[in-house]
Amino acid sequence: GENVEQHPSTLSVQEGDSAVIKCTYSDSASNYFPWYKQELGKGPQLIIDIRSNVGEKKDQRIAVTLNKTAKHFSLHITETQPEDSAVYFCAARGVKAAGNKLTFGGGTRVLVKP
């Protein structure tokens, strides 16, 4: 099955700096790559996603890039703010997966220091 690795596991940045989280996946047929943000005491929420026919997608201060050849994708957060502090999960969905079954990475705890 699909295997997703996520790095780093923790990331501390100064407010205003950029943060980058990287994920690699194993199934070359995977076609959908979402990112979820989990704030303290809450369930994860989708913040951005990208499909295999697109190389980059941006939504305000967050962007995701996909390199299908290398089988990795990254989340970029610019001008970080304290409210960006959370745990972030990447995920990938293989073509053979049924019912929107996603494989998640191990998570990255991001701390934005004021």
Partner 1 sequence: DVKVTQSSRYLVKRTGEKVFLECVQDMDHENMFWYRQDPGLGLRLIYFSYDVKMKEKGDIPEGYSVSREKKERFSLILESASTNQTSMYLCASSLWGAVATNEKLFFGSGTQLSVL
Q: Which helix (H) or strand (E) holds 74?
A: strand 72-77
Only one of the segments 14-22, 60-68, 73-81, 98-106 lies at the binding site for partner 1 (rule: CB under 8 A); that segment is: 98-106
Q: Among candidates 6, 1, 3, which has minimal Cα distance to 89? A: 6
Q: Among candidates 86, 102, 97, which has minimal Cα distance to 45? A: 86
> Which 22-61 residues touch partner 1, going by CB under 8 A?
32, 34, 36, 41-46, 49, 51
C-alpha span between 80 and 67 (Å, rounded): 24
C-alpha span between 102 and 91 (Å, rounded): 6
Only one of the segments 14-22, 65-73, 76-84, 89-97 lies at the binding site for partner 1 (rule: CB under 8 A); that segment is: 89-97
Among 4, 64, 77, 112, binds partner 1 (CB under 8 A): 4
Residue numbers at the binding site for partner 1 (CB under 8 A)? 1, 4, 6, 9, 32, 34, 36, 41-46, 49, 51, 89, 91, 93, 98-107
